[in-house]
Amino acid sequence: MPQSEFSFDIVSKPERSSSARAGTINTPHGTIQTPAFIPVGTKATVKSVMPESMQELGSQALLANAYHLYLQPGADIVDAAGGLGKFMKGAGFKKVLAMETDTVQSDDVIAENKTRLAHVDDDGVTFKSHLDGTMHRFTPEFSMQVQHQLGADIIFAFDELTTLMNTRDYQVMSLERTRLWAIRCIAEHKNLTTSRANKPYQALFGVIQGAQYEDLRRKAASDLGAMDFDGYGIGGALDKHELGTIVSWVTEELPLTRPRHLLGIGEPEDLFVGVEAGIDTFDCVSASRVARNAAVYNNYGRFNITNAKYRKSFEPLVKDCECYTCTHYTQAYLHHLVHAKELLASTLLTIHNEHFIVGLVAKMRQTLIDGNFQEFKTEFLGQYQRPGLSKG
């Protein structure tokens, strides 16, 4: 399939003093209307929720993790099934983004009392499986081979994830390592695209690192922005208090005509910051993870359904929410499920939380098109409280 079948179109007029934009990412399996929140299904599933439910709640794509799927069930199995989309649900929900492992940890920081699972060198990463202790080796070329077998519409270049604890000298060294890996990824990606010409085209995104340093972030964005990538992911160590500033450094250097994905960001106020800085798509595990701990998103923040006041409340989980959970079940029932440790609690609460976050970013898109994004942001954040618990 020709590369032209992946494209990105900007459909909104830019607002003054903002890089926010609405767009459309076109893939071989359909479009993604941006800005968009992409729920995380690490092992080809959003925990406790059926793929059909994710589609029904408004999710346009899912993000899976290549490292986990390589270990289990194996990229060859997914390839034989026809790629991630078909592996997950036959001919159904097909738009899946595959993200390369973010367990490639920098070599000079080891958590106290933790066993090192990975060793990074200039050629790649040697790591021990967290499943059975077997040793494995990833290089940029092997990463591309695995991700081509997984068959996602969008894949990410192999990169090293550093932390804020790493020294600046290490960040500089790591950034150069990631730059050289990016060149190798592009070369292998082109070879595989040619040799697997019978498969749908897979877009390759480069990953921008650089931690909290402006010069390193801008250099990484400039270096990778000049390469033949279809889009870009912004990752690595990010100080949440400086999120907008750091992301703006990157987006100011990247090509305007290619999509940008912000890795691992999913709290409402951070999503507004990212959109304003020019981000098109996001992913994060937070919505499903907090749901499994009985935390529920609403327009005022989050509340915990285990609170005693919900025991006899026969109101919807969240008033005026149109998700499956809120239109079918009461606070009292969800309160009961959680306290009874029933698996259904995680399913229903995850459906609501994912619906809330996906829907919030969809509203951002519509207000960008309508020209009233700033008003929507001011109204929403004026009543939203972070971090704690809010009115239910």
Please state, rounded to an integer, the average pLDDT across all residues of the chain.
Answer: 91
Positions of E strands within the chain:
7-10, 23-27, 30-34, 36-39, 62-65, 96-99, 118-121, 124-128, 135-138, 154-156, 203-208, 231-234, 260-262, 281-284, 295-298, 301-304
**Cα dist from 184 to 154, 181, 218, 242, 259, whole Å:** 17, 5, 21, 31, 21
Report the alpha-carbon distance of residue 329 to residue 323 in Å, rounded. 10
**Helix pair 268-276, 373-383: axis angle to 10 deg:** 160
Residue 5: what pLDDT? 83
The predicted structure's pLDDT at residue 103: 38
- Reference 44, options 80, 69, 81; nearest CA is 69
Where do the CATH 3.20.20.105 domains begin and end in the chain?
3-284
Give 237's pLDDT tier (boundaries 50, 70, 90): confident
What class is the 3-284 domain? alpha beta
pTM of the shown model: 0.93
Per-residue pLDDT, 116: 56
As a whole number, mean pLDDT of residues 175-204 equals 96
Element housing 346 (H / E) = helix 343-370
Which of 248, 156, 238, 151 shows the shortest CA–CA distance to 200?
151
| Residue 206 dihedral angles phi and psi, to the nearest 5° | -85, 155
Cα 145 to Cα 98: distance, rounded to the nearest angstrom: 12
- What is the rounded distance in angstroms from the CA atom of residue 47 to the CA atom of residue 366? 29
Task: Measure the CA–CA gap between 189 and 195, rounded to whole angstroms.
Answer: 10
Residue 111 banded pLDDT, cuts 50, 70, 90: very low
pLDDT confidence of 14, banded at 50, 70, 90? confident
